[in-house]
Amino acid sequence: MRSKLFVPGSRPELFAKALAGPADALSLDLEDAVAESRKAEARVAVRGLLEGMPGGHGKTLIVRVNAMDTAHFAEDVAAVVRPGLHILNLPKPGSVEGVRAASAAIARAEKANGVTTPVGLMLNIESPQALHDAGALAQADPRVVGLQLGLADLFEPIGVNRRETAAIQQAMFRVRMAAGQAGVFAYDSVFANIQDPEGFSAEASLSRRMGFMGKSCIHPSQVALANDAFRPTEAEIAHAVKVVEAARQADRDGVGAYVVDGQMIDVPFVVRARAIVAMARQLELLPA
């Protein structure tokens, strides 16, 4: 899931094009991208898409619902938790208890709508309190599969410059460590300036170095940039293959640590190398 494209739920004319596009995931949005007067309309459109979804599209399907403290949350969950939905994105999680309540709401909708594959829950970390509690939120319920950083909501209300690199790095690091502690993924924020592809790519490169899975996109022009930023390079793939092969040999020989390309290798490096090899195979950059 290198790239995740937000698609307003109130714009069903965009659904087919987004499904046919290069984004790894689609985030069908019922929250910020939808005017209050069109919330019900968007909910119906997204439900219709999920109910009529053809197989084999190959994308991760996500719906961002409205926050739990709104009048829309319960109806959103009841409408969109359908077969074919992979992840429900919860904005502004307020507490561990709130995350568990959201999970329970999803479970009720799964039962009512005949969903047999559990829907995951991705939590937005977009307030100072959520950033402080990120570790606890990530571990609040087994349904949580990832944390998504929301830098605009986190920074703008308290006067932190959205482009301040030091602040971005600190927020990314805290979210990544919280996700790592819980064993879930970390996903990067949107980048609002669609006329600054260099800025998008620089931030995506930073988030990849911070261990994030991918980056959110608010415009189709950003998708290729995200896919490129989170694609392993040829040098990374070649090194990872060497590490994996050396690990196999070391296991046979009973060796705990060894050298590959002048670097001392042990278990943490092997874990990372195997992840790179797996992604390269998924992207058909290596044979299966």
Backbone φ, ψ for residue 185 (5° rounding): -85, 160
Query: How far is the C-alpha of 174 from the C-alpha of 134, rounded, in Å?
Result: 8
- Tell the residue number behind the tokens 């930073």, with chain if given: 206
- pLDDT for residue 235: 86
Structure-token pair, residue 228 = 């490129």
- Specify the domain boundaries for CATH 3.20.20.60 within the chain: 3-229
- pLDDT for residue 90: 98
Structure-token pair, residue 264 = 């001392």
- Predicted structure pTM score: 0.90
On the 0-12 / 13-18 / 19+ scale of CB atoms within 10 A, 201 is middle
- pLDDT for residue 190: 97
| Model pLDDT for residues 66-75, shown as the tens digit of each residue | 999 999 999 9
Structure-token pair, residue 122 = 């991705």
* Superfamily for domain range 3-229: Phosphoenolpyruvate-binding domains (3.20.20.60)
Query: How far is the C-alpha of 218 from the C-alpha of 209, rounded, in Å?
Result: 22
- Tell the residue number behind the tokens 């911070």, with chain if given: 210
Determine the distance from the C-alpha atom of residue 28 to the mean position of all C-alpha atoms in its chain, rounded to a whole number: 13
Q: Residues in the chain, how many?
A: 288
Mean pLDDT per 10-residue segment, the chain (288 residues): 97 95 97 96 96 82 97 98 96 97 98 96 98 98 98 96 96 98 97 96 96 97 97 87 87 85 86 87 81
- pLDDT for residue 78: 98
- pLDDT for residue 257: 81
| Model pLDDT for residues 45-97, shown as the tens digit of each residue | 999 999 988 766 789 999 999 999 999 999 999 999 999 999 999 999 999 99
- pLDDT for residue 258: 83
Residue 217 per-residue DSSP state: E
- pLDDT for residue 56: 64
